[in-house]
């Protein structure tokens, strides 16, 4: 199951909105990778379609979030892995299920209920993301108007 949800906002806004929605539901969210931080010394992610990839004009973002449930509620164990990949003002957010692992056991897969709850939170975040968090361009424009 690698279902994806399209967010109408940049990747940073999508990642923040998803993190906030998941945190409100009591999940622990760990940001394990951030392309903007990793890209500083490299022009990585070769299959990205961004014509400015690796330059200051690049708008790409790729974030990996690990979502942990509450062990006391029976949703401990492996985290749900979420990726958010964006270019310009659209982000594709998806739950990535482990495949092709050497050892496929209950500890390597997230709990099915946890995956369902996380997907519900991601849908909620997709519906509210633009309203909850302004894009960096909007923040910049607001700052110039106040000055």
CATH architecture of 4-146: 2-Layer Sandwich (3.30)
Task: Give the Cα separation of 26 and 21 in Å (integer).
Answer: 9
Instruction: Taking residues 29-56, report their average pLDDT.
Output: 63
Structure confidence at residue 11 (pLDDT): 83
Query: Where does the pLDDT of residue 36 fall: very low under 50, low under 70, confident under 90, or very high at 90 and above?
Result: low
pLDDT in tens, 18-28: 999 999 999 99
Spatial CA neighbour of 67 closest among 24, 110, 5: 110
Write down the pTM of the prediction: 0.70
């Amino acid at each position: 199951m690698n279902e994806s949800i399209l967010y109408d906002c940049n990747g940073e806004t999508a990642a923040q909105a998803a993190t906030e929605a998941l945190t409100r539901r009591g999940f622990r969210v760990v940001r394990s990778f951030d392309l903007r931080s990793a890209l500083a010394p490299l022009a990585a992610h070769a299959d990205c379609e961004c014509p400015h990839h690796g330059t200051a004009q690049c708008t790409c973002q790729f974030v990996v979030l690990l979502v942990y449930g509450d062990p006391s509620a029976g949703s401990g164990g492996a985290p749900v892995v979420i990726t958010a990949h964006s270019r310009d003002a659209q982000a594709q957010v998806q739950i990535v299920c482990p495949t092709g692992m050497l050892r496929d056991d209950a500890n390597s897969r997230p709990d099915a209920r946890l995956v369902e709850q996380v997907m519900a939170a991601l849908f909620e975040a997709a519906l509210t993301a633009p309203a909850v968090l302004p894009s960096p361009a909007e923040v910049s424009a607001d700052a110039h108007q106040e000055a």
